Structure 1
Amino acid sequence: MSGNLVPASRFSTESWVKNSRFIATIGPAFSVTEAREFIAGIAQDYIDATHNVPAYVIGSGTSITAHSSDNGEPSGTAGKPALSILLGSGLGDTVLVITRFFGGTKLGTGGLVKAYSNAARSAVEGVPKAKKISVHQASLKCPYSIYERLLRLIKLHNGLNIKESFSEQVRIDFLLPISHVPSLQAEVSELSSGQLSVIIQKEILVALQPVNIAEDKSRYA
């Protein structure tokens, strides 16, 4: 799995171990501040939980900031195994919180490590993945006669977050991967006989482009 992959959105899984309920919630975070806000939000959502165990990896590849906490569980039995799963997943810019509602039966050191590892693994494997890319915020105005053909072109060039507004002409606002700008400009010009061009408004450093990946579960064993 490439290191520039991140969770596409917030995602949760749930499991039960000897009457203890585990909820693993994972999502994207592009800074330590965002990760801490995510963790605080989960703690508020599950304010009555016995433990809310956080782990995060900000950055990707060899340039990362990693953190975890056992949040009251015995040292090394919760946050560390969760973080280990994150680091082994290849995901970057990822925050994970595993919530536990104690069910009355102690799991022991080995049982806790296994339970938190399995909860983290389930979240990492199940979360939809996205690719982190650099894009331009762009727009295009066109007559209705070629609107549908232009919309198809934008989608073929991996346009994201496409929004349309209709008046005398159609306005299309979208995010366009930087590498696709020259080719889309050329095709728009050709389609409109040189009358139209894509207006580049500003560069955005990060956008999420959904991808489909066949997970190799052996990675998390």
Structure 2
Amino acid sequence: MKHNLTIKSKQFGKYQVKGSKYYSFAFPVNDISKLKYHLQNLKIDHKKSSHICYAYRLLVDKQINDFATDAGEPRGSAGIPILNVLKRNKLINTAIFVVRYYGGTNLGIPGLINSYSTAANNVISNINIIKFVKLVDIEFYFEMKYSSLINSIIKKYEAIFIEKFFFNQANYTISIQEKYKSKFIDDIKNITKNEVKIINNSFEKD
């Protein structure tokens, strides 16, 4: 997986040929629910579009799952060209949607393949592509007096806060690079004299 890439944020692109307009959208996605969320929003925002074709590549259980749909276009003319753009750029956990507004001129299958491929390439060419890093979630709680020390360790490992709760104790859920997981847990145990309680450290984020 070390050679795979992903995207950091969403991006938008546009392509037009023979009256047809193609609006392309790239999103970082970690699971199918996120993909469905983006698809639903696009359907709401583009109710008058002719087709919403898309493809994605997701890392699931250490395997890359590919999917592509032509969404009513001739078979193989839309989804696969979009998927091929993802593959050529070695992108995973990424989805590309291309929304087409038909312009009145039939393009034929070769024309459609070129149009969807171009639209997908356009959105990728404008996006921030980064190295894919495997993340895991760790949930733990500790006495409030250790907050500043724990926060400094979180910053040290460039972990990301997912949730924070405070009552009698502090309860944190963070997302961290998998390679740092063991060192991070050792550090917070040492700095709290083993008073920190790890609730769950097995959540993997593909």
Normalised TM-score (structure 1): 0.68
Q: Deviations over 1:89-128 (max 9, x none)?
A: 2122433221011234555555433331121123334266
In structure 1, stretches of 5+ residues that fail to align are: 208-221
In structure 2, stretches of 5+ residues that fail to align are: none
Superposed CA RMSD: 3.6
Structure 1 29/23 Cα, relative in aligned 2: closer, same or farther at 3 Å? farther
- 2:82 aligned partner, one-letter code: A
For 1:141, the equivalent position in structure 2 comes to 142
- Counterpart CA distance in 1 for 2:182 and 2:77 is 52
* CA contact 1:20–1:102 (8 Å) conserved in 2: yes
Q: Does 1:47 align with 2:47?
A: yes
Structure 1 142/131 Cα, relative in aligned 2: closer, same or farther at 3 Å? farther
For 2:121, the equivalent position in structure 1 comes to 121
For 1:212, the equivalent position in structure 2 comes to none
- 1:89 aligned partner, one-letter code: N
For 1:201, the equivalent position in structure 2 comes to 200
How many pairs are equivalent? 202
- Counterpart CA distance in 2 for 1:42 and 1:84 is 22
> 1:190 deviation in Å?
4.2
For 1:191, the equivalent position in structure 2 comes to 191
Structure 1 81/173 Cα, relative in aligned 2: closer, same or farther at 3 Å? closer
For 1:218, the equivalent position in structure 2 comes to none
* CA contact 1:3–1:92 (8 Å) conserved in 2: no
- Counterpart CA distance in 1 for 2:44 and 2:21 is 17
For 2:156, the equivalent position in structure 1 comes to 156
List aligned pairs for 1:45-84, cutoff 5 A: 45-59=45-59, 63-84=63-84
- 2:85 aligned partner, one-letter code: I
> 1:85 deviation in Å?
0.7
- 1:121 aligned partner, one-letter code: N
> 1:134 deviation in Å?
4.7
* CA contact 1:59–1:65 (8 Å) conserved in 2: yes
> 1:189 deviation in Å?
4.2
> 1:88 deviation in Å?
1.2
- Counterpart CA distance in 1 for 2:112 and 2:82 is 11
- Counterpart CA distance in 2 for 1:67 and 1:164 is 35
Normalised TM-score (structure 2): 0.72
Q: Deviations over 1:165-206 (max 9, x none)?
A: 4455544332344543432344334434x2633524241121
